[in-house]
Copies of this chain bind each other. A is one copy, B any other.
Amino acid sequence: MTQERWQQLVQWPLLGAATIFLVDYAWKVLADVQGEPGLILTFVLEAAWSVFLLDYLMNLVLAPQHWLWFRTHLFDLLVVVLPVLRSLRLLRLVTALSVFPRSPGTAVRSRVGIYVTTATVLLVFLASLAVLDAERRAPGANITSFGNALWWTFVTIATVGYGDFTPVTIEGRLIAVALMLGGIALVGVVTATLASWIVDRVAELTRDQGAGK
């Protein structure tokens, strides 16, 4: 079997696994499911995760040059380790709502805008679930409700950092570091998109003035 054949085959199963992962995780954390039902939800979560792991390993095996594929797909490795990122596959559904490309600049910027907005919403939602899951029962923790977890996530990703809620567990702090990186990337993408827009506007105006002479 070729790598391309495999990728075509698993496209929909991966999207399904991502959706199951998201719904299952949200359910488990929000309803604070414990005991036997909790074990079942954890099992489904791990099953969905194993689909991503299988896909990564199959891609590595089927690639013509294993080492080259490994080096050029470090992000895919990260996705296996942090299944939160895999939910970004759901972005494909969003981009189906294709945009109105008046110019190449507008097309690129619209696409970037849609990706960033959706990725930010997913990241905020999943990080809120994860931090609540990590902190909820920790001694001395103050992030103990989903409302506060969501509020803390926004305060962190915007790099505001009031400090009214802070994680105390190692898991919670790792999520915080991921959110901070996300926040830096978010500021970067917003700024870069605006810079590209201003540069285009200036170029357009220069062209119009040249034509008007």
Contacts and interface: CB of A to CB of B under 8 A. Distances in A.
A13 interface: no
A156 interface: yes
A9 interface: no
A205 interface: yes
Contacts of A199: 196, 199
Interface size class of A (residues with CB under 8 A): 35 or more
A158 B181 CA distance: 8
Given A160-B160, A163-B164, A164-B166, A206 B104 contact: yes
A202 B105 CA distance: 5
Interface stretch (A23-31, A32-40, A50-58, A184-192): A184-192
Interface stretch (A14-22, A79-87, A125-133, A170-178): A170-178
